[in-house]
Amino acid sequence: MPAKGKSMKKIVYISATLLLPAFAFGQQDSSSKQVGLQELIIREINPSLKRPLTFSSLEKKDLKQLYFGADVPSVLQQLPSINAYSDNGTGIGYSFFRMRGIDQTRINTTVNGVPLNDPENQGVFFANFADLLSGVEEIQVQRGLGTSTNGSSAFGGSVQISLSALEQKRSAEIQMGIGSFGSNRVTASIQSGLVNKKWLSQLRIGRIQTNGFRNNASAEVISYQASVLRLLKNGTIRFNAFGGATQNQLSYLGIDKQTFNVNPKTNPFVNGESDAFRQLINQLQYTRRLGLNQTLNASLYFVRGVAPKFQFLFPASWGYTFDWFNMSPLISGNDTNFIAGDMMTSYRLDQKFYGAFVTYTYLHKRFEINSGLHANYFIADHFMEVLNGTNIPNNYSLPHEVYRNTGIKRDLSAFLKGNFNATDKLSLFADVQIRMTSFTYSEKEMAIRPSFGKVEDMQWVFFNPRVGINYQLKQGQTLYGFTGIGYREPTRFDYLQDDFAPGDIKQSAIKPEQLWNTELGYRLNGGNCKLTVNLFMMEFQNQIVGTGALNNFGYPVTGNIGRSWRRGIETALVLPIDKMFSVFANTSFSLNGAKEFSQTFSSEDFSTSLQKTFKNTPLALSPNQLHLLGIQFNSFDETVHATINGRYVGKQFLDNTGNDLLSIPAFYTIDARFAYQFSIKSLKDSEWQVKLQANNLLNANYAPFGSLGGFNTINAEGQRGQFALFMPAAGRNFFLTLSAKF
């Protein structure tokens, strides 16, 4: 090997020595017998093709092509029935997705079985551990109820992420990227390889930054992922730690139609509103082969979340007075100015999440049995400080804590599921879950502001059964059917609609959601040609939906509606044209509606209220069409990869009344990717790749998400006091990445 190549490798491995634990650099061994036990975790979490479920998978090779720095939702929208959006328009920073029109708080998300959904509000904030996809083996997305998973019940579906298996070969990798709007990314990772026939480890550190498409909408995330695995005689012990620290300028408010058409980069936040959050996820995972057909998997996990700030300006024009904080009696002398003026506040969080689960799998020629038990405990302190204000009394030092409350969530669930091969072609599936969960709320009495109300202790018990059938027509062709019933409790925000209790809250104020889900499908897996056609029927009772408005934190204001539905057909196709070209298509047609619900409005002068009933109206933010069509090129030697695709999303209503004036229009975009993999002669064992991601080539001005502005009023002619707010996405933009693996 030339001296230059030796020097480069020496530098890489010296750096690795400094970063990895000392035990990771003894004698290496090429044995793979025990290392294969890592795959047991992935197989146990993710269902096989023999189960009658509606799912799509993104494997490591897919993620390598799709991921360039934009977060998980941007990748997931390559799959059927998923629409993604981000606050700042780039997909970096606060990014979200909806599946079959159902928001992210009702989609169960796990990493190696660890729930990512915040137990109180069920949100998932991928920005807190951006660059996670650099270290992922596979993502499986189940649409609908799917199988039992850890954490809250899946309503829209579930996203199950499996971390990468640790490699036997020692390596180091770096990825560097730069793109539009000041976006950039650096990720470095190292693997120890197999050491002393027992140890494997890896470490990844990354940084992603963008100025954002919108004004005052920057985001910066520093993330990490570390794993250490110990091979045992019949199993493995693996410790995983991942997470990050994020800082964002706030940009979750939309803009009106006129502003959107003239200057879509506008951001209503112009006073330095920003936030920061740290989320640290730790897991100790034990996998043991009990025999040829039996596997035990047990995990302990601890998640810590801290919000150092959520800086938000309350303008005086909002009409807040010191009475809101019960401060007016404390103003001394002849001062009669009760208007608080501009107040810069900071909302704070301190979360601790403890949990454990154990699963047991038994495999037989005719059947498979999988059972499990999961328990967790979550506690979060919510508090707010006034940082400064124009009319704060002199006798109050700043920052001043205004309120503090604590939420506690407990969860215990058990499941038993099995797959029975009745014949060589026919298999039957059943899954039963029992779940018990509770929520308690307590508030500290403050000298400034007394409690507005008390929250009743809440407890729910749910029984969630599922059954299915799978029939193999011929080699590679399968028919499947699935039906099941699921229940899910309301979130903290569903009850409070704020960060503290605005009054007395009873559990009965919001009803649990109920879903009866039926899926019928055909699956073809014939070599390079793959086709899935799926009919779905989701019948809801007391579905919790957004009203179109957002609260101070960007969360939807929600409420129950009676009977509602989401019904449709989804297809996913990959069809080779020849040995290098193939076409692909993901399509979704659906009808999403509510049978009947009532909504209360105020008169234009707010003197009276009016209740109006709506029947057979479309559901908010649930487009009836979602399509992704494209063509892909792969060279014979797999060194060149290119894709161009078009994406169409239908019109979205912003509330549930079917008002065309309160909607955002359909849109389509065209994106392209190009990747070239090459080698350098002086570095024989290295792998290099350059990748270009080009988004929105036609420079379309579009909004994948929106909300309502104005006031919830209605006049005698039925005209609403609310108007549509658009959440703009970026215009034409590019991202170039160079990666090298040694």
pLDDT in tens, 456-465: 999 999 999 9
- pLDDT at position 680: 87
CA distance 656 to 614: 9
Phi/psi for 493 (5° steps) reads -65, -30
Give the mean pLDDT of the chain.
88
CA distance 128 to 278: 6
DSSP state for residue 25 in the 8-state scheme: G
Alpha helices in 46-124 (DSSP H): 60-66, 72-76
Instruction: Quickly state the pLDDT bin for 276 (edges 50, 70, 90).
Output: very high
Which pLDDT tens digit goes with each residue over 258-275? 999 999 999 999 999 999
Cβ count near 79 (within 10 Å) = 23
Q: Average pLDDT of 703-730?
A: 94
Strand segments, DSSP code E, in 577-639 are 581-602, 609-618, 625-634
456-466 burial string, b = 16+ CB within 10 Å, else e? Answer: eebebebebeb
Residue 517 has pLDDT above 90, yes or no: yes
Query: From residue 88, how far is each of 236, 284, 728 by CA, in Å?
Result: 42, 35, 8
DSSP state for residue 619 in the 8-state scheme: P
Residue 628: strand pairing partners = 586, 647
CATH code of residue 293 = 2.40.170.20
- 167 residue type, one letter: E
Lowest mean pLDDT among 32-41, 405-414, 548-557: 32-41
pTM above 0.95, yes or no: no
What six digits make up the tokens of 654?
Answer: 């912003």
The contacts found for 357-362 with CB under 8 angstroms, 24 or more apart, are: 357/113, 357/150, 357/298, 357/299, 358/296, 358/297, 358/298, 358/299, 359/44, 359/113, 359/296, 359/297, 359/298, 360/294, 360/295, 360/296, 360/297, 361/44, 361/294, 361/295, 361/296, 361/297, 362/293, 362/294
- If one counts the domains in the chain, the total is 1
Query: From residue 374, how far is each of 25, 151, 293, 416, 625 by CA, in Å?
Result: 36, 8, 23, 12, 37
609-646 burial string, b = 16+ CB within 10 Å, else e? Answer: eeeeebeebbbbbbbbebbbbbebebeeeeeebbbbbe
As a three-state string, the secondary structure of 210-274 is ECCCCCCCCEEEEEEEEEEEEECCCEEEEEEEEEEEEEEECCCCCECHHHHHHCCCCCCCCCCCE
CA distance 729 to 312: 23
CA distance 36 to 28: 17
- pLDDT at position 554: 74
Cβ count near 576 (within 10 Å) = 15
Residue 713 has pLDDT above 60, yes or no: yes
CA distance 539 to 162: 31
What six digits make up the tokens of 234?
Answer: 């019949």
**Residue of higher predicted confidence among 220 and 553:** 220
CA distance 465 to 295: 24
- pLDDT at position 462: 96
Contact 227, 202 (CB under 8 A): yes
Instruction: Quickly state the pLDDT bin for 38 (edges 50, 70, 90).
Output: low
Q: Average pLDDT of 707-712?
A: 92
Per cent of the chain over pLDDT 70 is 89
Q: Average pLDDT of 501-508?
A: 92
Report the run of H or E that residue 9 belongs to, with start and end: helix 3-19
Which pLDDT tens digit goes with each residue over 338-391? 455 678 888 999 999 999 999 999 998 888 999 999 999 999 999 988 888 777
Residue 331 has pLDDT above 70, yes or no: no
CA atoms within 13 A on the CB side of 285: 25
The residue behind tokens 């919790």 is 544
**569 alpha-carbon distance from chain centroid:** 24
CA distance 140 to 133: 13
Domain coverage including residue 126: 3-741
Which pLDDT tens digit goes with each residue over 608-659? 988 899 999 999 999 999 999 999 999 998 899 999 999 999 999 999 999 9
CA distance 316 to 299: 50
